Amino acid sequence: MTKKSAQEFVTTIPEPLISKFLFANTKLAWLWLIIRLYVSWQWLSAGYEKVNSIVWTGNKAGVALSGFIQGALHKTAGINPDVAGWYATFLHNFVLPNAVTFSYLVSYGELLVGVGLLVGAFTGIAAFFGAFMNMNYLFSGTVSVNPLLFLLELFLILAWRIAGWYGIDRSLLPLLGTPWLPGKVFKK
């Protein structure tokens, strides 16, 4: 039996041309800028409102979030509940007892996602955390604008290479690089 090199076991699947065009071509950076700014505005306005509210970050922090969670817990009844049992258990046993902490996390998290997307810094990461929050709102039985934002954030995550082209990422990404290809700062 002959010994095979590691090269013989590597399979490379090229990126489809449509994917390259949509998610890596700087000619579409303007499209990602529009989407990024829209999503940013949604997070900035929601976060700003919460950060300036006493029931989210003031002396009554946690009150609004507790009310939101109680509403979600009421959506667990019936044949087809809006909130799954496992998520209701998480909300009841973990989030509700720590409502003040989560209230601050939600408020400042929304604001930080909005700022990151606005200035185009760590766009893919900001979109990921925005999508994470939208998914939690959806798990809580709140539809509203969450599915649309979640979808747009998924596209921003896929377009992370150019979604911040008109922003700080244009300079930041070449400096920092990625875990698989270090940037100028991390090269020896």
Look up tokens 């007892």; give the residue: 97
Kindly give the confidence (pLDDT) of every residue in the chain, 188 residues in length, as a single tens digit, with 9 standing for 90 and above: 556 665 667 788 888 999 999 999 999 999 999 999 999 999 999 999 999 999 999 999 999 999 999 999 999 988 999 999 999 999 999 999 999 999 999 999 999 999 999 999 999 999 999 999 999 999 999 999 999 999 999 999 999 999 999 999 999 999 998 888 888 888 86
Which pLDDT belongs to residue 12?
83
1 falls within a domain: no
> Would the CA dihedral through 19, 23, 25, 29 be positive or negative?
positive
Report the domain count for the chain. Answer: 1
Cβ count within 10 A of residue 173:
20
109 falls within a domain: yes
Q: Give the span between the Cα atoms of 72 and 147, in whole angstroms.
A: 17
DSSP state of 140: T
Torsion angle of the four alpha carbons 106, 109, 115, 116, in this order, in degrees rounded to the nearest 10:
-140
CA angle 95, 99, 102 (to 5 degrees): 80
7 falls within a domain: no
Look up tokens 């019936």; give the residue: 78
User: What count of residues does the chain have?
Assistant: 188
Chain CA centroid to CA 150, Å: 8
Q: Structure tokens of 67?
A: 């009310």
73 falls within a domain: yes
SS (H, E, C) 79-117: CCCCCCHHHHHHHHHHHHHHHHHHHHHHHHHHHHHHHHH
DSSP state of 7: G
Range of the domain at 103: 32-166
79 falls within a domain: yes
CB 76 within 8 A of CB 113: no
Which pLDDT belongs to residue 91?
98
Burial of 160 by CB count in 10 Å (0-12 exposed, 13-18 middle, 19+ buried)?
buried
46 falls within a domain: yes
174 falls within a domain: no
